Amino acid sequence: MERYVVIVAGGKGLRMGTDIPKQFLLLQGRPVLMHTIDAFRRTYADIHIILVLPREQQDYWRSLCEQYEYGADFEVADGGETRNESVRNGLALIPDGTEGIVGVHDGVRPLVSSETICRCYDAAAQTGAAIPVVPVVETIRRIMPEGDSVTMNRDLYRLVQTPQVFSVSLLKKVHEECASYSFTDDASMLEAVGHPVTLVDGNRENIKLTSPADMKMAEGMM
């Protein structure tokens, strides 16, 4: 069974306070996106990697690969106007009829562990859809329509990470059916058409880098 990962990297770095897109910022001396790719390469040497980048960022990415002598094998798809469109563009590079498993991963989650990746791919091979989650450790409150708030039972909630992993044929089919709708992630799309999603343990370090504080935490954890 073939393994694929579509790594979506279309950030602009606005919350980072920099003109450099966040996936290209340096983390321990190398661009974040290279660390993200390496996490999958370390786990599965034969995985097919598809990067989704805005067209206007692709030349810059190629120059970074030359500068850092980065020779990992990957394909590049054009980013879309929305995340869903970007994922569809990445999926289009996987031949129709492929019997395999594909993960969709945020390009700015470089600290995903091999254990998390394996759990997601193994579960998706059995059930068709699996996502990594971690428990909520803070107290959470729900804002009510009247303006009041109430404490919620945090044991009933989980924080969702990536990679979200699916059967290739299933994810392609669902993206075709839901092309005109907007979803925050691919698991929500599957649930909308009635397909269950398996939850597996993520790793707490697998944070999404969106602010300077996140970069400092990532440096420390690495």
State the pLDDT at residue 113.
98
Is 60 exceeded by the pLDDT of residue 17? no
Structural domains for the chain: 2-221 (3.90.550.10)
Closest CA to 22 of 214, 219, 217, 222: 214
* 95 φ/ψ angles, rounded to the nearest 5 degrees: -55, 140
pLDDT (tens digit per residue) in 122-146: 999 999 999 999 999 999 999 998 8
Whole-number Cα distances in Å, 116 to 48, 159, 192, 200, 212: 18, 14, 25, 8, 25
Q: Is the pLDDT of residue 157 over 90?
A: yes
- Does this model's pTM top 0.85? My answer is yes
Residue type, 132: P
* pLDDT tens, position by position, 19-68: 789 999 999 999 999 999 999 999 999 999 999 999 999 999 999 999 99
